[in-house]
Amino acid sequence: MTKVKDTLREHDLRNTSCREDVLAILTQNNAALSHGEIERELDNRFDRVTIYRTLKTFVDKGIIHKVLDEEGLRYAVCKDQCSGSRHHHDHLHFKCTVCGLTNCIENITIPPIQLPAGYKSIETNLLIQGVCPLCNSDN
């Protein structure tokens, strides 16, 4: 829990029990989690809106980033030093079709994509679906 408190302090955030608990859940999981999964882990200790606001604050401060998969929005802890103004996540996400977990694959970067004139990229999401190493019986 010390690392969680340090992270909140480093990002100039007040320690609240909701912030500590949400960040602890996200840091303890290797996979990206949905709002609903986080809410279930918290066992109704905080209302839905408080959890949503906490997640939004963490995204805005560069503590976590959004992950999109076919089931919707998920959240994962930022590995790089992100800021509130810019997330540095040009990596891909992998969704296992067997266990359903979505993970960040940090060591493969998404190449820059040249957009047509007038378009401005804010973030890039790439999702690959397949079978993760834990579920792959070929290993």
In the predicted model, what is the mean pLDDT of residues 71-85? 76
Q: In this predicted model, which residue has the larger pLDDT, 2 or 56?
A: 56
Percent of the chain at pLDDT > 70 equals: 90
Q: Which domains does the chain show, CATH number per domain?
A: 2-130 (1.10.10.10)
Poorest-pLDDT segment among 46-50, 123-127, 132-136: 123-127
Considering the entire predicted model, what is its pTM? 0.82
Q: How many residues does the chain have?
A: 139
Tell me if residue 82 falls in helix, strand or coil.
coil
Q: Is the pLDDT of residue 35 over 90?
A: yes
Reported confidence tier of residue 108, pLDDT bands at 50, 70, 90: confident
Number of other CB atoms surrounding residue 26 within 10 Å:
20
Query: Over the stretch 5-14, which tens digit does the pLDDT of each residue have?
Result: 999 999 999 9
Reported confidence tier of residue 79, pLDDT bands at 50, 70, 90: confident
Contact 51, 22 (CB under 8 A): yes
Reported confidence tier of residue 55, pLDDT bands at 50, 70, 90: very high
- In this prediction, residue 22 carries a pLDDT of 97
CA–CA dist 136, 139 (Å, integer): 6
